[in-house]
Chains A and B, each alone.
Chain A
Amino acid sequence: MKQSPGFADNDLIARVLLDDDRNAFGELVRRHQSQLRASLRRMTGGNVELSDDVAQETFILAWKNIKSFRYEAKFSTWLYRIAFNAWQSEVRKKKEVLMDDARMPEQEAVGFVTESSGVRRDLVRAMEGLTVGEHNAIVQCYYNDLSHEEAAFVLGIPLGTVKTNILKAKEKMRAKLVAYGPEAGQGVAA
């Protein structure tokens, strides 16, 4: 996530911890809201209202639990972890069973589509059919720009599972892109 000029995240967190400074926390929210909301939109298949509700819940949980922030991870990574858990909790509430071997519903596999360029269309199609675990791993490692270790922390799964999911996801996407033939070739090469 972008770092605005001024105080670093850790300085703001320290102010929140020491002085219960809501303005400092407000600055953290302002600073991270865009990337977090975008990430949640990808997870919720572009559902703006739902993703914003989960984002708000994420920041409220972050405020309540900020004392447990240990500076071992970046604040943004910690937020992604809370957001992922909040989203999973929301899914459970809706009784949508998301098992690791379950396939992504088509709408959710689409991700956060903002424009439909040829490349994106091909990519979105290639991401259809990924399992939830594979999709989550791709979103965290590529779209949230996390390392495999950070993605494992966010998703709460072993590092090896993240790596396996990424490999499997890319293998599936590769097969899909090949299946598209010349169209995919053009899209990918663009």
Chain B
Amino acid sequence: MNNHLSLLRDKVDEVLKADALEQRMLHIDDDGFTLRVMDALLQKKRLSAAMRFAIPFGCTLIASIVALAFTPVGSFIFDAYMDLVTETVTPTLIGMAVVFFTLYAVSIGGALSED
């Protein structure tokens, strides 16, 4: 029994090494694996939630200001601002608030969107 044990003592290591060598010799075909990895790398980096919020919000805000300031009803934004300063609730101020909150909601929606 002792002889058997000492034989086995060496054999466990030998058998493990032999089996591992045999396993390492086995080759797994690429079979499109590399292509899938490279495709995954080429996918555009997703923007962070903050950027997904900031970009549409910023762009729309600037566009709205420009549009409101230079259209025939250009005084709209300034009137709304003056109403806000004087704490007077007017249709102009309400209109401006609606524009602002719509803009905010769209931006939040964009930020939360997964696509």
Q: Which residues of A contact B (CB under 8 A)?
A: 22, 25-26, 29-30, 33-35, 37-38, 42, 52, 55-56, 59-60, 63, 112, 114, 119-120, 122-123, 126, 138, 142-143, 145, 170, 173-174, 177-178, 185, 188-189
Contacts and interface: CB of A to CB of B under 8 A. Distances in A.
Contacts, number: 87
19 contacts: A22-B38, A30-B30, A33-B30, A33-B33, A33-B34, A33-B37, A34-B27, A35-B24, A38-B24, A120-B19, A142-B19, A142-B20, A143-B24, A145-B20, A170-B12, A170-B16, A178-B5, A188-B12, A189-B11
A189 B82 CA distance: 95
Interface in B25-39: 26-30, 33-34, 36-38
B4 interface: yes
A116 to B, nearest CB: 12
A116 B40 CA distance: 36
Given A143-B24, A177-B8, 11 more contacts: A22-B41, A22-B42, A29-B37, A56-B37, A119-B15, A119-B19, A170-B12, A174-B12, A177-B11, A178-B8, A188-B11
Contacts of A114: 23, 26
B71 to A, nearest CB: 46
- Interface class of chain A by DSSP: helix
A112 B26 CA distance: 11
Nearest to A143: B20
Given A123-B15, A123-B16, A174-B12, A143 B23 contact: yes
A26 B36 CA distance: 10
Nearest to B9: A174
Contact of A188 (B8, B30, B41, B42): B8
A119 B18 CA distance: 10
Given A114-B26, A143-B24, A30 B12 contact: no
